[in-house]
Chain A
Amino acid sequence: MLLIPCPWCGKRPENEFHHAGQAHIARPEDPSATTDEAWADFLYIRTNTKGRLAERWRHQHGCGRFFNAIRDSVTDRIAATYKPNEPPPA
């Protein structure tokens, strides 16, 4: 069970959290203006990164907040977490 640092509550056990997929996939401003291909990419295409990736988590059984985490998919280490409207740390 990972220990995940919630930006609001601090480090908490993984079972309080809910994984919510890859981060920084912007919903198109005007979906009706996107092509079928672009929309399908938005819906379904993910990077499946080996290594460092940004992903969404929610502190479901805590403060209820969604946030982003930089996690290494090889080591499972979480390098940083940050709020949804913040840019990923370098």
Chain B
Amino acid sequence: MTQPFRTHDTGRIHRDQPLRFTFDGRTLTGFAGDTLASALLANDVHLVGRSFKYHRPRGILAAGSEEPNALVTIDRGGGRITPNLRATQVELYDGLRATSQNRFPSLSFDLGAAAGWAAPLLSAGFYYKTFMWPPSFWARLYEPAIRAAAGLGRAPTEADPDRYLHQYAHCDVLVIGAGPAGLAAALGAMATGARVILCDEQAEFGGSLLAEPAATIDQWPAAAWVVEAVSTLATSVTLLPRTTAFGWYPDNLIGLVERVTDHLADPNPHAPRERLWQVRARHVIIATGAIERPLVFPHNDRPGIMLSGSARTWLHRYGVRLGARSVVATNDDSAYLTALDLHHAGVAIAGIVDTRPDPTEDLVEAARSAGISVHPGQTIARTEGRMRVHSAILSGGTQVIPCDSVLMSGGWTPSVHLFSQSRGKLRFDPATGVFLPGESAAQEVSVGACAGVFDLSVCLSDGYAAGGGGVRHFAVDGIPTLAPSLVAAPGTPHPKAFVDFQNDITTADLALATREGFRSIEHVKRYTTTGMATDQGKTSNLNALATVAGLLGATMPEIGLTTFRPPYTPVTFGSLAGASRGALFDPVRCAPMHDWAMARGAVFEDVGTWKRARFFPLGREDMHAAVARECLAVRRSAGLFDASTLGKIEVVGPDAGIFLDRLYTGTFSRLAVGRCRYGVLLGEDGFIRDDGVIGRLAEDRFHVTTTTGGAASVLHHMEDYLQTEFFDLQVWLTSTTEHFGVIAIQGPRSATILAGLVEGIALSDMPPMSVQSCRILGLPARLFRVSFTGADGFEINVPAGDAQTVWDAVMAAGERYGITPYGTEAMHVLRAEAGFIIVGQETDGTVIPDDLGLGWTIGKAKPDFVGKRSLTRPDMVRDGRPQLVGLLTKDPALVLEEGAQIVTLTDGAGPSLGHVTSSYHSAILGRSIALALVADGRARIGGSAFVPMPDGVVEVAVVRPKFLEAGAEANTGAPPAIGSVSAAAAGRPRLAEATPRTMSREATPAVAADHDGSDVPNVGTSRPPVRSAEPRPSMKLSGFPASPDVHATALAPTSRLIVRASNAAATAIGASIGVMLGSVPCRGIVSRDRAALWLGPDEWLVLAPEAEFSLLEQAIAAAGDIPASVVDVSDRNHSIEITGSRAAWCLNTFCALDLDPTAFPIGMCTRTLLGKAEIVLWRLGAETFHIEVARSFAPYVWDCLAEAAREFGS
């Protein structure tokens, strides 16, 4: 007979929907509505696991998430393996496959159970005491052995193929727990018109009411009342079943995990498996109920020994009897209800063993009149039975009661976990002997059993009032009100009297800890590990506390509770990661010529979040060959380089020059219009932060370049000083990094190649370090004559959307000269040959200009600039500072390792003088070159030093940090003279195309391997998926899921201006360009076909149709003499429109803002974050949003929204 312990008619399971499942390979059946635990019990399967340490046979203790024993692994196939799931929370579906854990070879015959015989060895502190010596044994012997013997389920080894999403939500009232108090609270909150979210960890709302068949509320049977309440709530409340509130974070941010598909046999592949909600609630109502405590007696852990209240739940909710003959052991009235209910269901109750000498008379009477014997003042001395309890021996040891189950109740512990996490203070209630919520620290209130209220009527009215619904009386019948009982006094410490079932901690362990001198409960906890398992001691904490208090002769409040920390129940890594994995782990930013480089076969490297072309191999060239060819092309003719990732900041205003004087080491206020100067940016501490070329476009307008990595931080640094120090300056900053595509053409033929393309100016009028506005192919361009290679060269800045067109034209014009595209690797070699530093490579945050020989950049006449004072601090002027030098190996073929140490002793020993900062093979020089920071390096030039390398110590000559003479790129191709420089001026860095390299040289093979191995499927390993092993095209704003609920569109190109000005100036500018620049924060104003979005108190983004003629000039003219900044940023952004009933939802999958129309009305706009990308979000309609996003982040934003929309696909 299947399901022999299923009742005939009780329970809320669907008997017309039988389900087949397997447990350890054995096929069983259950019903829809079962949990795995209830289905196992219906089949009389009680042995479900082996304990953590002693491998003792264990059964199911509880019916809810507090279950410590019944941990199983569920395998859904295809790598979908989840270990350590509580069988009590696993909903049954057809075909479910579950296996037990921590046993070998099988549950009933477990070799590890030998640990039980060795139990005296495994007492508290066992690991600390036993495995101390020798240390080398830890890694080789102890740890592997312990890991094999003790433990939980095994982590899956394959990548998890499921999808996970996050969701941000906001509400007025979040109700946690949908038992009677929580349902009433939600009803009360709903009555006020508030935005309400109600969540419960169980599949079905109702909590304890689902197991109270006799109870009525307002004349309704309790279960029917629940159905009515839920259907009422469903009209306006967000209902989240299967959703655990696991953590409380500051400012009422609550973490919830919703298990979306785990209960389904055939889930929608487009739905996430789990959704991690981050709910910002004005007010939280905690209605998390109470958890029953076990009784602590010897051998209280055998299969068949369970909590009494859970037994009622199994009976009434799941239609399961726990055995044929049960002993009830209690110190609490509630167990009498269990005994009577089971008795009526046909279970023989072999006796009620009540530790209390004077149990409640009515209940004793009721039991006895049902023919149940009651043993007051008695306890269970021990139990017998191997794989299942078969008898209980009462105190005194003479009376043996045969049984197949023991149902115990040690009273009820309010679930104060979340309240405690909210930093509320717990108070000890002497009347009930438990800790209850005391003084609040957050906007929350606890109602119902978690607040120590066990009277159903009071739970309901308290809940309703807490929700804001006011006074309401609920008429309750059919459920007795029971007095709570104190925590049972612990018996004599016994090595098999378990307190913490999951971590196998007994009263003897706790006694040992106190004997060894531990007094603080926090120390006892850590020494014994009680309460530290995945169940966080839900069933054990109070018993452990009572035991320790008894042993130390102290009261429970004197001992105090240990701290509750998130998560309440374990949270999967998948949920925590959400969509941030694979392609969406980080934005992948692509430069304007990315697709061209891809088509050309470039190998890319990660530079921050950018993908940059590292080199362009031809045929079978390796990196070395390709880089050598690219470098020689630049030295002998011309090379082309995508330098678009360089940071660019437009500095505008009457005080722009003075501002740059104060920020950079050099003097810019006297720089002539049309000229450029190299700038070094220091922190106030004097250390180099960034560098770059700065060009003066007009009296009041500078084009500042930064390193690729410094683009955001330099702007931040500048804004800091402008906003908080230099209140006297009229200057505004605008990032143009992504507006311009930057094409660097370098090499002796550069001017020849460009001459035919440039309109409006003559290149012969452009000296080195100059800048001119011109047109190229009719497009507006800023042309810089600058070099980061030591050769002649230009950098063409054109709108990013047109950069590829210009690149193609330059390639075509240079074809007859053998123009060669080069990547970042060649760029690094070329600049090192010329002795140019790279911030982040030659600097490490402790380097000052003089260390690098950049003292010449300092404007000596300037009284002050940021960092100047620090340059005269004693440590900055001392002897022995690191100084930049060149190193040449004796063997020209040997390339030093970057980071290698430099010493004076031939054997490689002795103190380090410094380290190699850059090291390459130089093709033009036919040998290796290296830059290094060496103590007193300049004094060592002409001498030698030693570099320990893996294969031995290498002698190097210390030389000036410049390897290539100016003009040495003569067309002969003969290696020029090296190693000394006479004219310092010749060595001036011109353009610091400075890309702090995030990848070490050692990483090269990995990149190459990933590239070469991109067709090898990444399966069957535990490695996370390699990000973008295969570079993907830069723009992919397509492939949005077709859905009736949400739709995204990439909008056509648009004219964009950033206006930065005072409100008065903005008014004048707005009037001339036909759209008001409003002063109300976070509002966008539309006028005909134009819009002005408020981004900050002096910053507006103006949008206009692309064909708009000279919008920029109009605005600049309007500004006239009014100090203001107007900058064209048309190509900086892409625009995306997202519409539909789920548009706000999809945004909230990645954006933490409250998008309810009351909080984010039509017309509101703001910068914010969408995942890891900054966007401007602007609401155009109830269901329509406009997104502005920097062009390199656009694919990431698009893909995020598509990921969020997938579950709504049609």
Contact = CB atoms under 8 A, between A and B. Distances in A.
Given A16-B1168, A32-B869, A63-B1096, A43 B685 contact: yes
Contact of B1167 (A2, A3, A62): A62
B286 to A, nearest CB: 20
Contact of A8 (B278, B863, B1096): B1096
Contact of A66 (B719, B863, B864, B870): B719
B727 interface: yes
Contacts of A20: 720
Prevailing SS type, chain B contact patch: mixed
A81 to B, nearest CB: 14
A3 B278 CA distance: 13
A13 B724 contact: no
Given A15-B1169, A20-B720, A36-B874, A2 B251 contact: yes
Contacts of B447: none
A3 B280 contact: yes
Given A31-B868, A58-B716, A61-B1174, A66 B873 contact: no
Given A32-B864, A32-B869, A66-B723, A15 B685 contact: no
Contacts of B1174: 61
B848 interface: no
B873 A39 contact: yes
A32 B873 CA distance: 11
A16 B1169 contact: yes
A23 B280 CA distance: 29
B870 A43 contact: yes
B441 A60 contact: no
B804 interface: no
Interface string A42-74: 010000000000001010111111100000000
A27 B683 CA distance: 13
B684 interface: yes
A79 interface: no
B1168 A84 contact: no
Nearest to A64: B1096
Interface in A9-29: 9, 12-13, 15-16, 18, 20, 27-28
- Most A C-beta atoms less than 10 A away, residue of B251, B719, B868, B1169: B251
A85 B870 CA distance: 26
B249 interface: yes
Interface string B507-536: 000000000000000000000000000000
A1 B716 contact: no
Interface residues of B, number: 37
Interface in B775-792: none
A3 B1096 contact: no
Nearest to A6: B1081
Contacts of B874: 36
B152 interface: no
Interface string B662-704: 0000000000000000000000110000000000000000000
A75 B716 contact: no
B1168 A62 contact: yes
Interface string B1079-1094: 0011000000000000
A86 to B, nearest CB: 12
A64 B1153 contact: no
Contacts of A43: 684-685, 870
Given A3-B251, A31-B864, A76-B250, A63 B1095 contact: yes
Contacts of B1081: 8-9, 63
Interface residues of A, number: 34
A25 B650 CA distance: 29
A13 B1168 CA distance: 9
A90 interface: no
Contacts of B249: 1
A62 B1152 contact: no
B869 A75 contact: no
Given A8-B1081, A36-B874, A39-B873, A66 B1153 contact: no
B720 A40 contact: no
Given A32-B864, A66-B720, A85-B727, A1 B1097 contact: no
Given A1-B278, A15-B1169, A60 B716 contact: yes
Contact of A65 (B250, B278, B1097): B1097
B725 interface: yes
Given A1-B250, A61-B1174, A39 B869 contact: yes
B723 to A, nearest CB: 5
A58 to B, nearest CB: 7
Interface string B838-875: 00000000000000000000000001100011100110
Contacts of A60: 716
Contacts of A36: 873-874
B253 interface: yes
A73 to B, nearest CB: 13
A42 B541 CA distance: 50
B1152 A13 contact: yes
B716 A27 contact: no
B423 interface: yes
Contacts of B630: none
Contact of A1 (B423, B724, B1152): B1152
Contacts of B423: 75
B250 A64 contact: no
B720 A9 contact: no
B1166 interface: yes
B724 A66 contact: yes
A73 B123 CA distance: 40
Given A1-B253, A85-B727, A61 B1169 contact: yes
A2 B716 CA distance: 22
A26 to B, nearest CB: 9
B1099 interface: yes
A1 to B, nearest CB: 6
Given A27-B725, A36-B873, A64 B719 contact: yes
B719 A12 contact: no
A83 B319 CA distance: 65
Contacts of A8: 1081, 1096-1097
Contact of B1152 (A15, A31, A34, A58): A15
Contacts of B1096: 8, 62-65
Interface string B440-454: 010000000000000
Contacts of A34: 869
B684 to A, nearest CB: 6
Interface centre among A63, A75, A76 (most CB of B within 10 A): A63
A30 B864 CA distance: 8
Contacts of A30: 864
Interface in B1154-1210: 1166-1169, 1174
Contacts of B685: 43
Interface in B704-744: 716, 719-720, 723-725, 727
B251 A62 contact: no
A2 B250 contact: yes
B976 to A, nearest CB: 44
Contacts of A75: 423, 441
Nearest to B721: A27
Nearest to B865: A31
A84 B1153 contact: no
A40 B873 contact: yes
A39 to B, nearest CB: 5
19 contacts: A1-B1152, A2-B250, A3-B251, A3-B280, A9-B1166, A12-B1153, A13-B1152, A20-B720, A31-B864, A43-B684, A56-B724, A58-B719, A62-B1096, A62-B1167, A63-B1082, A63-B1166, A65-B1097, A75-B423, A84-B724
Given A1-B253, A9-B1082, A9-B1166, 20 more contacts: A1-B278, A2-B250, A3-B253, A13-B280, A15-B1152, A16-B1152, A16-B1167, A20-B720, A31-B864, A31-B868, A31-B869, A32-B863, A32-B868, A34-B869, A36-B873, A43-B685, A58-B719, A60-B716, A63-B1167, A64-B1095
- Top 7 A-B pairs ranked by shortest CB distance? A31-B869, A63-B1096, A13-B1152, A3-B251, A84-B724, A66-B723, A64-B1096
